[in-house]
Amino acid sequence: MLSNSNDNLSDNIESYETAFNGLLNEDGFSLLQAEKTERLKPLLQQLHQHHLSHCLQYQNIFSSYDIGPFSLSGELQHYPYLAVRLFKYLSLSSVSDEVVFKTLYSSGTTSQTPAKVILDRDTAVRQSKVLVKILQGFIGKSRLPMLIIDSPDVVNGRETYSARGAGIQGLSLFGRDHTYALDNQMQLNMPVIEAFCEKYRNKPVLLFGFTFMVWKYFIQALKSKNLSFDLPDGILIHSGGWKKLEAEKVSNHSFKQTVAETLNLSRVHNFYGMAEQVGSIFVECEAGHLHTPVFADLLIRDPFTLEPLTLHQKGLIQVISTLPTSYPGHSILTEDLGVVLGVDDCACGRKGKYFSVEGRLPKTEMRGCSDTAQ
């Protein structure tokens, strides 16, 4: 039976917060995989019990399963998960309506059902803290002048947000003098871009946009006008929309190469993430690998049997996060295919698992923060 408490968290709030804050005190990629796993287990057990007590749909899904303390405290491969598609059809919430801070919707075409994610202030604050911790390991602690490769129209919701809007809002924490490169018709705002590039010539700057938006509306638009800019100390962070680029035969390598030719910058970091687990992002390192931070993990499962796979075997990605308490998004089986490439031994020096994303299951809906721009 669901708890009648109006608390945002379940009764084990203190132990959860203590364990989570302990992870916040660590460097984002400092823990060896074995140690990280041991520290994630109690957090995941507390989250599972919390959502069982506070989310009726979650309780209904798992009430007939024998998920006891043994499987929760054992290997991560035994940990329960939800299919990502459930967020399109159910309003999965573990908080009362009066404490809902924002409702996040994934982007999609008019023929798709968007995923719906319920955030309270505690979860939103936790996500922001983790995002800062993760990205500081790639772009440093200083707030840089920021060129946002999107239209200002995308950030316009108070109670609701698209995934694109939420992504921009989250990454804006790392910038100052926020400048939008596109106008409301998704056209290059050349006076604004030129002024930004002139003002910060030969200075560190941060560029952020969703992958397909950066490629189509910025890089390709500049190339069509035979324009280029000189941002040698720039850092580009981007994510999402790879399916459309792959259809156009644009690889990660060619994307970086064209960005370098057009903007004269070499520091480009892709990251893997999703609306259903905002805050738990997996950033591409200098060696070209996506990394799991101390707050999150991932497993690869066989698409047919759902059995866990080992290193170098391609399968469905299961993402695990210690962040969401307002909705049961702590363990999600995605429709993305990936491969764990190694553990604790990436050339970049970061610890934990590192992996690659290899596309999506056939005949699944195209989704992602930047797959559509109306």
CB-based contact 82:333 (threshold 8 Å):
yes
- Residue 365's pLDDT is 55
Q: Which of 43-57, 68-82, 85-99, 168-182 has the lowest mean pLDDT?
A: 68-82
Name the residue ranges covered by the structural domains of the chain: 127-272
Strand ranges (DSSP E) for 205-279?
205-210, 234-239, 267-272
pLDDT value of position 11 = 54
Rounded CA separation 99/187 (Å): 38
State the pLDDT at residue 78: 86
Please compute the mean of the pLDDT values over residues 6-26 and round it to a whole number.
Answer: 75
Query: By the 8 A CB rule, do 333 and 316 touch?
Result: yes
**Residue 109 or 143, more confident:** 143
Model confidence pLDDT, tens digit, residues 175-228: 999 999 999 899 999 999 999 999 998 899 999 999 988 999 999 999 999 999
The CATH number assigned to the domain with range 127-272 reads 3.40.50
Look at residue 259 in the predicted model and tell me its pLDDT: 95
Average pLDDT over residues 105-126: 80
- 277/331 Cα distance (integer angstroms): 9
User: What mean pLDDT value characterizes the chain?
Assistant: 87
Give the span between the Cα atoms of 298 and 171, in whole angstroms: 23
Categorize the per-residue pLDDT at 59 as very low, low, confident or very high, splitting at 50, 70 and 90: very high
Higher-pLDDT residue of 363 and 249 is 249
Per residue in 71-87, pLDDT (tens digit) is 555 688 888 899 999 99
Looking at the predicted structure, is the pLDDT value of residue 112 above 90? no
Higher pLDDT, 152 or 292: 292
Q: Is the pLDDT of residue 32 over 50?
A: yes
Order of all β-strands in the sheet with 267-272: 175-180, 144-148, 205-210, 234-239, 267-272, 282-283
pLDDT higher than threshold 60 for residue 54: yes
Q: Which helix (H) or strand (E) holds 115?
A: none
Query: Residue 244 — pLDDT band, cuts 50, 70, 90?
Result: confident
Name the percent of the chain in helix, strand, coil, to the closest 5: 35, 25, 40
Beta bridge partners of 209: 238
pLDDT average, residue stretch 313-332: 96
Examine the pLDDT at 353 and tell me if it is beyond 60: yes
pLDDT given at position 257: 94
Count of C-beta atoms within a 10 Å radius of residue 34: 9
pLDDT for 158 beyond 70: no
111: pLDDT strictly greater than 60? no
DSSP 8-state code for residue 215: I
Percent of the chain clearing pLDDT 70 (strictly above): 87
For the ranges 241-255, 265-279, 313-327, 333-347, the lowest mean pLDDT is seen at 241-255
Q: Residue 38 has what DSSP assignment?
A: H
Instruction: Please tell me the predicted confidence (pLDDT) of residue 261.
Output: 94
Angstrom distance (rounded) from CA 100 to CA 93: 9
Given this model, what pLDDT does residue 214 score? 94
pLDDT at 359 over 70: yes
pLDDT for the residue numbered 9 = 47
